[in-house]
Amino acid sequence: MTHIDEAPRPAAAAPPRGREKKLPGKDRATVITMVTVPLLLVVLLVWVPAVLSFVLSFGKWNGFGDLDTIEWVGVQNYEDIFTIYPAFWPAVQHNLIWLAFLFVFPTILGMLLAVVLDREMKGSRLYQTAFYMPVVLSLALIGFIWQLFYSRDQGLINQVFNTQVDWYGDPDINLWAVLVATAWRHTGYIMLIYLAGLKGVDASLREAAAVDGANEVKTFFHVIFPVMRPINMVVIVIVVIESLRAFDLVWVINKGRNGLEVIGALVAQNVVGEATRYGFGSALAVIMMVISSVFITIYLRTVFREERSR
Amino acid sequence: MSRTTSSAIPRSTVATMAATRRSVLRGIGLSGLAVGGASMLAACGGDDAGPSTGSGATVKFGINEAEGVGPAYDRLAAMAEAYTKETDTKVSLNAVDHNTFQESINTYLQGTPDDVFTWFAGFRMAQFAENGLITDLSDQWPIDGLNDSFKQAATAPDGKQYFVPVQYYPWAVFYRKSVFEKNGWAPPETNDDFMALMEDMQGKGVTPFAFGDKDGWPAMGTFDILNMRLNGFDFHMSLMAGDEAWDGDEVKQVFETWRTLLPYHQADPLGRTWQEAATAMGKGECGMYLLGTFVVDALGENGEDLDFFTFPELDSSIGSDALDAPIDGFCVASAGQNQEAGKAMAKWLGSAAAADAANSNADAPFIAANEGASTSTYSDLQKKSAEVVGAAANIAQFMDRDTNADFANTVMIPSIQAFLKDPDDIDGVTASIQEQAASIFG
């Protein structure tokens, strides 16, 4: 193992700390541009809409006319969502099921596939392509493809097995049917990310483990997996994001109704199309934002703790 | 959303694929930017050169049918062409997929809309009129050949006309003539006939009613007709306007009756599109189907073997002379650049000449609102549709056109689906509808 960059440098080469603060004019301009441009974009594209959604969530507005036509109703939208909106609690539950399912099945399967493919067996590139193929497709298209399998009267599954299962219409089944379709894509996605991570692991670590007499499984769990901590974090974040933004597939199928309620679809139902309950939809969006910020906070805390402990 | 033309591809897939300016706007709307966006967009407009009307002028014509989806587009395109030929006004056609058009209508009208655009009669039109998004066309009325009931349908609550009707289609009970003939069935005259017919169908292994409600809106037609038969047209309309209680005995009775009819319907409607249900009726697996005349589109034939009857009477004091017959037509956008040309064109679009141009250039003709229009291209089915609608005492537009779109889409669709999932919890469903209606109608 050679860590050239960590080799002790001659003390004279290190610039005195005080001088670091004063950059030459040109460099300073560069730094300022590089900070302000993305900052402005983030503020404009993320924070302004977020704050506006928050403000709107206290109003009742159908989007007609100017802003002064907004009727301010306080927390009524939130109250309605929690008490009389039948779709809300099922949606929260479905998002959670989505999250758990993605973690337990396709994510672990994707990792497993990555580990297997990493061993560079014969035809691994072929498999890699095959597994990755669905990721290229949009989720809307995937919904369409799976419709051909799932249709109750004309679908492939019911035709082949001579059954009459209402895959997309039965609210007890359709969520799972959709999750299988999602998994088809998610597995390939995780596989590719993990594979990239595995390729980056220093080969000498494996050699060292092998010399120490560890078998493959032990090597993976005791050496490789801990080393891949950053990638593991990325995978966790991706799974959380994917389950929170669960939307496209259910929207294609039945616009997120009848057993397929997810928060994202409820937001869309209320603000997209002719039904324009902007206030109500914004309140749902704010709730979604709060939920996702819980995960973001946990993630950031973990990352910062790690940085500090270094 | 009472009608969809894309049959092979799911509606939203088409919408997703058509990345138009509007879908981008819709995306912005989702992220909350629409707040400022809508008013910002209203400020920027094109500056057209040339005269505003007559020869050499340009009218922008927004239509809710994408190119190549079938006769609906062909008819509108033919109308645009005929108008150019007749008046030398250039028509710039803006063709947008049906669902995309409808989903972005709000942003569209508040942004830079086309001068004339395809739209619907009923609450949807009235709502735009109240908010000043469409132009008063009362100076264009009366229009030759459009009778008073159409003028009524074009009138907003303020008493002025904002709409020009072009076509309509009734909702009724459709069946295959050959299937009825083979089994010796006849359209029922009374409710007893009706029940006997359904029993006989079941005895012969045929499901009486085809039924699909995956898209959410088709089942609204069943609610409408039952409500009109059981509680009358006036009650139906004031219920739609939010003036009656949804948890009252009247509405409960509608659901109760519906529950007794459900065993005669195809099972598992929530996983089936209306096209799939229509196919089941087409194949003779189901005897009848309550839908609009657009049922023909899903059968892939011209409908010669298809006939229909209006839903029979359930209460003799109310009768059976009301039905759903949505009217399609045109409005002029207030934010359109060329108001005069838009108005002139809208008026022409309601004429018999416009209807004839449309019908002679498409495979399937529509039923023209204008009574002067030629019916030579009509099939028997269309002639009968025109007759039945002409004879109806009261015409409703369809639930999602007669009531607040917010309420229809976000409350009624899931509520009717909840009822179809669990038909025994009528009290629960109606109570939930009432709570939400109270919150939305305020």
The predicted-structure confidence for A235-253, as pLDDT tens digits, reads as follows 888 898 888 888 888 988 8
Place of tokens 């369409």: A144
Cβ–Cβ under 8 Å, residues B88 and B363: no
Q: Give pLDDT, residue B44.
A: 40
Q: Is A167 on the interface with B (CB under 8 A)?
A: yes
Q: Give pLDDT, residue B53.
A: 64
Q: Give pLDDT, residue B26.
A: 39
Q: Give the integer Cα–Cα distance in Å for A75 and B377.
A: 58
Q: Give pLDDT, residue A20.
A: 56
- CA-CA distances (angstroms) from residue B353 to B122, B350, B380, B442? 25, 8, 22, 45
Nearest to B420 by CA among A257, A148, A59: A257
Q: Give pLDDT, residue B51.
A: 63
Please name the residues in contact with B184: beta carbons below 8 A apart, sequence gap of 6 or more. Answer: none
Q: Give the integer Cα–Cα distance in Å for B34 and B416.
A: 31
Please name the residues in contact with B71: beta carbons below 8 A apart, sequence gap of 6 or more. Answer: B362, B363, B364, B365
- CA-CA distances (angstroms) from residue A104 to A6, A218, B332? 39, 21, 55
Instruction: Looking at mean pLDDT, say which of A8-17, A113-122, A164-173 comes out highest.
Output: A164-173
Q: Tell which of B2, B101, B106, B128 to mutate to test the A interface (max A CBs under 10 Å).
A: B106
Report the residue from A84, A143, A278 with minimal CB separation from B432. Answer: A84
Q: Give pLDDT, residue B68.
A: 80
Tell me the residue length of chain B: 442
Kindly indicate whether the ipTM for this predicted assembly is greater than 0.85, answering yes or no: no
Q: Tell which of A138, A170, A255 to mutate to test the B interface (max B CBs under 10 Å).
A: A255
List, run by run, the mean pLDDT of 10-residue segments along chain B (442 residues): 38 33 37 37 42 75 88 92 92 90 86 94 89 93 89 91 95 96 94 96 96 94 97 95 94 97 95 92 95 87 88 94 94 93 94 94 88 90 91 91 90 96 96 94 81
Nearest to A177 by CA among A80, A89, A249, A274: A249
Nearest to B114 by CA among B188, B59, B179, B43: B59
Cβ–Cβ under 8 Å, residues B13 and A140: yes
Q: What are phi and psi of B322, to 5 degrees?
A: -115, 145
Q: Is A171 on the interface with B (CB under 8 A)?
A: yes
Q: Which residue of A has its CA nearest to B434?
A: A84
- CA-CA distances (angstroms) from residue A88 to A228, A266, B45, B289? 38, 8, 40, 33
Q: What are phi and psi of A57, to 5 degrees?
A: -65, -10
Q: Give the integer Cα–Cα distance in Å for B289 and B292.
A: 9
Strands B116-120 and B58-63: parallel
Beta-carbon neighbour count of residue B123 at 10 Å?
22
Nearest to A238 by CA among A249, A227, A250, A246: A246
Q: Give pLDDT, residue B405.
A: 85
Q: Which residue of B has its CA nearest to A154?
A: B276
Cβ–Cβ under 8 Å, residues B426 and B432: no
Percent of chain A with pLDDT over 70: 93
Q: Which two tokens stand for residue B209?
A: 């009613």
In the chain, the amino acid numbered B147 is N
